[in-house]
Amino acid sequence: MSFYFCNIATSAWWLKKCKISVVPNEFFLYTYCVESITSISNKSECHLYERIEELEKREINRTKQLRSLSVELSMIEERQRRSIASDLHDHVGQALAIVKFKIQELQGNNIFDPFCETLGELETLVEQIIRYTRSLTIELAPPILYELGIDAAIEWLCSQTKKKHKKLKFIIKNDKTIKHLTDDVKIILFRSVSEIIQNIIKHANATHVIIETKQENGQIVITISDNGQGFGPSKIETNSNKTFGLFSIRERINYLEGTFKIESRNGAGTKILMAVDLENKVDRI
């Protein structure tokens, strides 16, 4: 807010900010005290400051809207993944199981030997497709996350990752008391943990990863630490290839009005903390 102010000597100032206190005295009259002012040399400069403040507010609102849109699109994608996984399981998976059964039924009949060999090859092929479909279904939307919760899902994720990266050791600490999270919050946290693990594999050169989940002060707190090469503070702010995924995760956690912290130093590993209210309903999605 700006004010035009004149003193007794008729010189004038434009005030960018002016904090005024109203204090009654013993005569029930009011005294107006100017507590703090920021003076500007002329009116045009004052309008320029007002315009800058207005643009800054618009930029903040735009950033919030973009963050909201980004997470909403992410959640739409997750729901589509879950829908596709359900269709694969209910339709494709069952159809393949029937085909396998029919092949086995034909093999049990007394038919010519050449056909038996071909049917055996078909059965093997169908079995491979069934395994691949089952694996794809789980990767799209792990049922363990929705059925058993975030703790069990993280344990499953680490065991699956360990199969592909045998040199990486996981230490999991949880009290298995995390309950009553909405599906949307579960999937945001689960995908965040998954992306952090992938970031460790690609960039950290770590051999040990410690993942701890706990309930604390009405929040679910997830801490992920590694003994990798780490990175300096400047890398976090520049959104380099090593930290762009972390920036994306921070946006999602901020959208949930949670806390996201990174502690890292070159050669000293990295520690990431995520905390979200247990009662978060994600009404904005």
The residue ranges of every structural domain in the chain are: 3-58, 67-140, 149-277
pTM for this prediction = 0.68
Give the pLDDT band of residue 271 (cuts 50, 70, 90).
Answer: very high
As a whole number, the mean pLDDT across the chain is 79
Q: Which residue has the tokens 């800054």?
A: 56
Give the model's pLDDT for residue 178: 78
Whether residue 42 has pLDDT greater than 60 = no
Class of domain 149-277: alpha beta
pLDDT in tens, 173-184: 987 777 778 888
38-74 residues labelled b (16+ CB within 10 A) or e (exposed): eebeeeeebeeeeeeeeeeeeeeeeeeeeeeeebeeb
* SS3 (DSSP) at 173: strand
Mean pLDDT lowest for which of 50-64, 130-144, 268-282?
A: 50-64
pLDDT at residue 189 is higher than 50: yes
Stretch among 131-135, 199-203, 240-244 having the lowest mean pLDDT: 240-244
> Residues with Cβ < 8 Å from 26, sequence gap 6 or more?
none
Distance CA 89, CA 136 (A): 10
Instruction: Give every CB contact of residue 248 below 8 A, 6+ residues apart in sequence.
Output: 195
The tens digit of pLDDT for each residue in 203-223 reads 889 999 999 999 988 899 999
